[in-house]
Amino acid sequence: MDPDALSSSAAGVGAGAPRYLIVFFGALVALGPLSMDAYLPAMPAMAEAFGVGIVSLNNTLSVFLIGYAVGQFFGGSFSDQIGRKRIGYVGLVLYVAASLAISFCETIDQMLVLRAAQAIGGGFSTVIAMATVRDVYPLEELGRRFATITMIVLVAPLVAPVLGAFLLPFGWESIFLVKAAYAAVLLGVYAVAVPETHAGQWHDLSVRSIFRQCAQVVLRRVDGRLLPLRYATAMALSTAVLMTFVTNASFVYIEYFGVAPSRFPLLFGLSVVGFMALNLFSMRRLTSDNAPVFFRRGLSIQIVAVAVLLAIVMTGAAQLWTVVPVIVVSMATLGLVGPAGSSRYMGFFQRLAGSASSVYTTMMFSFGGVLGALTGFLYDGTLLPVVAVMAAASLLANLLGLSLPRGASARTANTEAP
């Protein structure tokens, strides 16, 4: 199919979209977990090389999450103004350049600055995926399409730690060189094979308009209530549970439990497999009618799992065999929460799909970055700060979830303000 064939497409033309479109955007969004997970097995070695503690290396994850949020915030809204592909190009070029530069870092301070730049580029290039799906596919297909992208993305956290452990003998720098190569391949494919789905012009670029567009998203009311904002915030908090764990996964498994870096990918991958299992269930069973039910059940299961984990830690019963299964369940629930919540949330928007994606993903990565940094601030050598922060995020997500409609009564028609 001609890459320009969808350049003037409106939402609801999924049947005419090239089959590889979903696969490509899944691979593009995978840039995020690849950036966070591939160097987890190398963190102790990197801490030693830089002469710092592992908590300082954890800060490179928190900085990435916050920088990613910044990139997502501006990238999605810019894509509404000047087109999806222009933003994708800028983001991927910046990501490649920053990844190459990281491989030459000599201090942790240099690493933090370049990780922020890498994250902004990654945010720019990946935020357009959710908006593009909303551009192309009809409302009733959104849940399954988001679930498909999530399934592809989940290959990254499954493979990334294994890749990192494999590359570690060649030096931690090799991990970032491989990330640069991966992004460069995506850039090439994007240029020659992926259509523009929301055209725009450079002269339409306006930083001031970003805040107006995002304000319209945040203040969007459905049936007199701020339902889109509630969905976005609940999803972001629930996902922050995952990000808080990922930020501390190297500490939890390698430092606290003494797991060898070569075994780390196996334990980490169990959570990904659980996530994939429930995401596959969503791919097959999720509809626009049952999405609210899937969303609430996912949140409920997560809070129960995290509460059990907190009890295990507080009673001194934390061992690998007691902790790992509960972590797996708490992570797996996002296979229900993510696709169901995204389909409901993005269904409220069409013209401002990019801005809507920006608002949600900015909240998600900001929460993840701030909560990850908070666990570093509270660090006392035990699991309690990590698990307590996870429990607080899940509790807040569930409280918001209780305020959402139980059925499909809330309208998702596109009634955005002009």
Q: What is the pLDDT along the chain (418 residues), one digit of tens a residue?
A: 344 444 444 444 444 567 788 889 899 999 988 998 899 889 888 999 999 888 888 889 889 988 998 998 888 888 888 888 999 999 999 999 999 999 999 999 999 999 999 999 999 988 888 788 878 888 777 777 888 888 888 888 888 988 998 999 999 999 999 999 999 999 999 999 888 888 888 777 788 888 888 899 999 999 889 999 999 999 999 999 999 998 898 899 998 999 988 899 899 889 989 999 998 899 888 888 889 999 999 999 999 999 999 999 999 999 999 999 999 999 999 999 999 998 899 888 877 877 888 888 889 888 988 998 899 899 999 999 999 999 999 999 999 999 988 765 444 444 454 4
Range of 148's domain? 14-401
Report if residue 418 sits inside a domain: no
> What is the model's pLDDT at position 415?
47
Per-residue model confidence (pLDDT) at position 209: 84
Give the pLDDT confidence score for residue 83 in this predicted structure: 86
How many residues comprise the chain? Answer: 418
Question: What's residue 247's pLDDT?
Answer: 86
Instruction: Specify the CATH number for the domain of residue 241.
Output: 1.20.1250.20
Residue 406 lies in a domain: no
One-letter amino acid identity for 368? Answer: G
Asked if residue 388 is part of any domain, the answer here is yes
283 within domain boundaries: yes
Assess if residue 409 is contained within a domain: no
Q: Considering its fold, how many domains does the chain have in total?
A: 1
Q: Would 342 be classed as within a structural domain?
A: yes
* Total-model pTM: 0.75
pLDDT score of 17: 62
Residue 222 pairs in a beta bridge with: 225
Domain membership of residue 417 (yes or no) is no
pLDDT at 128: 84
